[in-house]
Structure 1
């Protein structure tokens, strides 16, 4: 009984309702996948990017999101390979450190953070044929899916390790908060919330236990500017994931329905709604 009550309190309220409504509007639509998976280029005009209902759906394709970020002058990881014909991947030409991720997905599913044959996310070693078999199996399930093989970004200290996630909750150019997560795996880690001046905030979500004495990254000012620039162009609420690397701030991805609006604290829900009503009033 108590668990059901806690679940209800965490997953109810106006913010949760708005996120669920957005999900239904974005994805329970016959044109949704076509809009998301139509390839776009950084050289396309902004008018072409926005020439679709709820055009932000294009940016839920991670390749399109890269191109959109590049169009706005943001750094992205180097791209080694892109496609659906998995047999054309030549692993002999890849460096010992690289990242594989799908163009569509969430929660780090099907992401390989490779360090000399080991996926740092699950601590398992993979032969190249094993990776190919996994990717090909997913392609058969979704003909619109592609995979990206990208640069493994080094930390500001020059290390190859699972990077700290910096998740900016943004409203049309305004930052409500950011979540700095020292990730141990796709579903474990420690994290603390901050404002855009790196002042610690109360917990906004229940996802990870807090960690003390996090230091702002050296490129934090650049990260704040990047988040605001991309958010302003996105128009409506979105979470923007960025990384602090040896070459500065690097774009990760856009998340329009973070956690499906679930697991937010009372403080977090009020914060999100206050920013939504002030800076994105009338937007889905």
Structure 2
């Protein structure tokens, strides 16, 4: 018994020592503009960087940066439109599921109905001809209400209704599933890799590529989809538009961020901003993937010193009501359409 207890004390001492020595590694990384010629950071050092950043963003006391705002779906849409990247057409912003129109088909077809706040697709319905493309099941109004009501109350009850970003080949592509989801891993304006999810009526799969569509050796952490058969996915037509949109948004943000993009018949459309792919689970982070990011990580936010001046479109964002935010985005979308035509 004594021996077992002694082993536990030794283990705890090693972990504490490791955490205590993480600081110098962080400083070393922050001071080097390009770490590509250096050895990879040890896994706990890199995770220290990420966790410290996550803790700072979640802290009520800060310090905070304006870039955190774009994690909110509507703020992300407003920011994207302000830098010239399209977003799905916003149809309605509702204070609660009870405000959903009856029948919901009156919003148009195809349409996405989802919680304003949420993650991992919980509560989201992608509706086309009365069927949810995510579950391949027909949805009644009561089904839809129940799905939205089952969301945790603490994240709020607001609901967004928007047009579905169609696949590149239009509605014909919906017969095979929802649009491909290009999850772009960014360090500022530098695209580190694209995690493309193929969502079909069979089993979803992924492929992991660089900006030139060359295969990368290992997927990012927490990859929840199997690799596409033989990893043989031809370069999508219009992939350059995805890269251009992600790099434009990433450059304007100036921090590490995952930026989700859809490729539609009219071009690249923003899905959402996410601070880290799948929560950066260390147990699923391969050495290849860790090295790829750790060697390029700069500063506390991953891409050197981020822009400090908040964009005009986001000034006073938190003071606006849901409906004021919605009207601002719809106004920006109309302005973009007028400029195009």
**TM-score after normalising by structure 1:** 0.79
Structure 2: gaps of 5 or more residues: 1-42, 307-341
* Alignment-derived partner of residue 227 in structure 2: 210
* Alignment-derived partner of residue 261 in structure 1: 280
* Alignment-derived partner of residue 28 in structure 1: 59
CA contact (8 A) 2:56 2:64 kept: no
Is the alpha carbon distance of 1:57 and 1:146 closer, same or farther for their aligned partners in structure 2, counting shifts above 3 Å?
A: farther
Offset of 1:147 from its aligned partner?
1.6
Is the alpha carbon distance of 1:276 and 1:145 closer, same or farther for their aligned partners in structure 2, counting shifts above 3 Å?
A: farther
CA contact (8 A) 1:217 1:244 kept: no
Match of 2:113 among 92, 100, 122: 100
Aligned: 1:19 with 2:31: no
1:142-184 CA-to-partner distances (Å, cap 9, x unmatched) read 3744221111122111122311111111111111111111135
| More helix by percentage | 2
Bigger CA radius of gyration: 2
Aligned: 1:245 with 2:257: no
Aligned: 1:142 with 2:154: yes
Structure 1: gaps of 5 or more residues: 1-11, 32-51
1:2-58 CA-to-partner distances (Å, cap 9, x unmatched) read xxxxxxxxxx53343333222221123268xxxxxxxxxxxxxxxxxxxx9222221
Aligned: 1:273 with 2:294: yes
* Alignment-derived partner of residue 212 in structure 2: 197
The 5 Å alignment of 1:12-91 reads: 12-29=43-60, 53-90=64-101, 91=104
Is the alpha carbon distance of 1:92 and 1:109 closer, same or farther for their aligned partners in structure 2, counting shifts above 3 Å?
A: closer
Offset of 1:96 from its aligned partner?
3.3
Is the alpha carbon distance of 1:73 and 1:83 closer, same or farther for their aligned partners in structure 2, counting shifts above 3 Å?
A: same
1:104-125 CA-to-partner distances (Å, cap 9, x unmatched) read 2211111111122222222332
**Count of matched residue positions in the alignment of Structure 1 and Structure 2:** 250
Is the alpha carbon distance of 1:14 and 1:184 closer, same or farther for their aligned partners in structure 2, counting shifts above 3 Å?
A: farther
* Alignment-derived partner of residue 233 in structure 1: 252
CA contact (8 A) 2:122 2:151 kept: no
Offset of 1:74 from its aligned partner?
0.7
Deviates more, 1:274-283 or 1:156-165: 274-283
* Alignment-derived partner of residue 184 in structure 2: 168
CA contact (8 A) 1:60 1:104 kept: no
Q: CA separation in 2, counterparts of 1:76 and 1:110? A: 20
C-alpha RMSD over aligned residues: 2.5
Q: CA separation in 1, counterparts of 2:227 and 2:96? A: 42
Offset of 1:281 from its aligned partner?
4.1
Q: CA separation in 1, counterparts of 2:290 and 2:204? A: 22
SS at 1:142's partner residue?
A: helix
Aligned: 1:114 with 2:127: yes
The 5 Å alignment of 1:144-159 reads: 144-158=156-170, 159=173
Offset of 1:127 from its aligned partner?
1.1
Q: CA separation in 2, counterparts of 1:236 and 1:25? A: 14
Is the alpha carbon distance of 1:72 and 1:145 closer, same or farther for their aligned partners in structure 2, counting shifts above 3 Å?
A: farther
Q: CA separation in 2, counterparts of 1:126 and 1:23? A: 37
Q: CA separation in 2, counterparts of 1:282 and 1:16? A: 20
Q: Which runs of 4+ in 1 moved over 6 A?
A: none
CA contact (8 A) 1:22 1:257 kept: no
